[in-house]
């Protein structure tokens, strides 16, 4: 019945201890004869060891938990991909949870991952500017610190004494280079398709954009999806007809903007420039190609897990961003009124 170790031991005519020693890869020496018998029976019975019970003793499972804002978002998808890459090499299991960008749900999910024995927890959704959330997160990190590691991706305003690993990318700079690029092309009135502005990566990008541009853009907050970007573009153009460029805080919204323009015969970049952020894989295959800011999301995911598996408990790794100019941005069109 139960394909447990006891039944294997019984069938092999050995004690629980020897069966365990053979099957768990222990260094304890077992006679060749018994070893062979145990292996044969295990094979025969298709014995599958119970990782739960193992974890109970060793105290650690090779399980890494990952908290993302939205599994469907290409941004998180790239990071998840990077994490899986090294997880496969290191034979770790990856459990991903979606928080819907809800801080409270993120904390609850963090707790659940801990409960399920995640030795490593990667918090991929960047921080939000809420004291209650930050306090809650500190509690979780401290608790996690007793037995495992926490990796924070993106900016988090937390106690520096916390033993967390930071994997960062300069979102302010990302916005800034994009802003400068547009300013150089004469754009002054710019619309922004923004994802949820409570997450710091979004607000950082917008802040950087304003800085690079030298002027505050017109921001509309939309669902961080292609359709959100499509709809938001309409809103933006209706509200501010003088806009000469539209920036999405994530590529998929910019892609929605491109499609809106195609559907409404708005020339890109002649009449309107469009730019995104993250440089997801498909950006270069669009027509025109989408100008965006490249972020090494996969590498960041991979680095997150690699650092967590390493020996350094508290460390910080930063990744550079890079402006990628493609066909979707160009000079601002001449207007009657500057």
Q: Binding residues for its own copies, how many (CB under 8 A)?
A: 48
Name the binder of 102 from DNA, its own copies, none, CB < 5-8 A by kind: none
Minimum Å gap between C-beta 25 and DNA is: 8
Answer for the pair 270, 185: CB distance below 8 angstroms, yes or no: no
d(CA 240, CA 226): 21
DSSP 199: B
Asked if 72 interacts with its own copies (CB under 8 A), we say: yes
**Residue 273 bridge partners (DSSP):** 245
Chain positions 29 to 58 lying near DNA, rule: CB under 7 A, are: 29-31, 33-34, 47-50, 53-54, 56-58
Tokens of 296: 């090494």
d(CA 192, CA 214): 15
Asked if 258 interacts with its own copies (CB under 8 A), we say: yes
SS3 219: strand
Q: Which of 38, 3, 33, 37 is nearest to 20 (CA)?
A: 38
Asked if 77 interacts with its own copies (CB under 8 A), we say: yes
Chain positions 31 to 60 lying near its own copies, rule: CB under 8 A, are: 46, 48-53, 55-56
DSSP string, 265-303: T--TTTT-EEE-SB--GGGGGSSSPPBEEE--HHHHHHH
Minimum Å gap between C-beta 113 and DNA is: 15
Chain positions 61 to 100 lying near DNA, rule: CB under 7 A, are: none
**Contacting positions for DNA (CB under 7 A):** 2, 4-6, 13-18, 20-21, 23-24, 26, 28-31, 33-34, 47-50, 53-54, 56-59
**Contacting positions for its own copies (CB under 8 A):** 3, 46, 48-53, 55-56, 61, 63, 71-72, 77, 80-81, 84, 88, 93-98, 100, 111-117, 139, 143, 146, 226, 255-256, 258-259, 262, 281-282, 284-287
């Amino acid at each position: 019945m139960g394909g447990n170790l006891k039944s294997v031991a019984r069938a092999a005519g050995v004690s629980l201890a020897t069966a365990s020693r053979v099957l768990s890869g222990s260094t304890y020496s077992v006679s060749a004869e018994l070893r062979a018998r145990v292996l044969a029976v295990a094979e025969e019975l298709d014995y599958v060891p119970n990782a739960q019970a193992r974890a109970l003793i060793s105290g650690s499972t090779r399980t890494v938990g990952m908290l993302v804002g939205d599994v469907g978002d290409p941004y998180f998808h790239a990071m998840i991909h990077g994490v899986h890459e090294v997880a496969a090499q290191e034979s770790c299991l990856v459990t991903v949870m979606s928080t819907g960008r809800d801080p409270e749900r993120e904390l609850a999910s963090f707790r659940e991952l801990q409960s399920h024995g995640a030795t490593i927890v990667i918090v991929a959704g960047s921080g939000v500017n809420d004291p209650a959330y930050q306090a809650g997160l500190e509690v979780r990190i401290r608790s996690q610190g007793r037995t495992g590691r926490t990796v924070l991706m993106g900016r988090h305003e937390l106690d520096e004494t916390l033993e967390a690993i930071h994997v960062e990318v300069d979102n302010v700079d990302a916005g800034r280079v994009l802003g400068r690029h547009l300013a150089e092309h004469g754009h002054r009135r710019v619309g922004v398709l923004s994802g949820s502005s409570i997450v710091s990566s979004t607000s950082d990008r917008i802040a950087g954009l304003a800085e690079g541009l030298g002027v505050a853009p017109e921001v509309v907050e939309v669902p961080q999806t292609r359709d959100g970007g499509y709809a938001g573009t309409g809103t933006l153009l209706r509200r501010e007809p003088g806009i000469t460029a539209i920036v999405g805080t994530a590529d998929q919204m910019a892609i929605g903007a491109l499609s809106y323009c195609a559907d409404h015969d708005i020339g890109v970049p002649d009449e309107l420039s469009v730019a995104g952020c993250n440089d997801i894989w498909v950006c270069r295959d669009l027509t025109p190609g989408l100008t965006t800011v490249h972020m090494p999301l996969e590498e960041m995911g991979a680095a997150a897990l690699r650092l967590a598996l390493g020996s350094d408990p508290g460390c910080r790794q930063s990744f550079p961003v890079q402006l990628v100019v493609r066909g979707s941005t160009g000079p601002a069109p001449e207007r009657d009124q500057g």
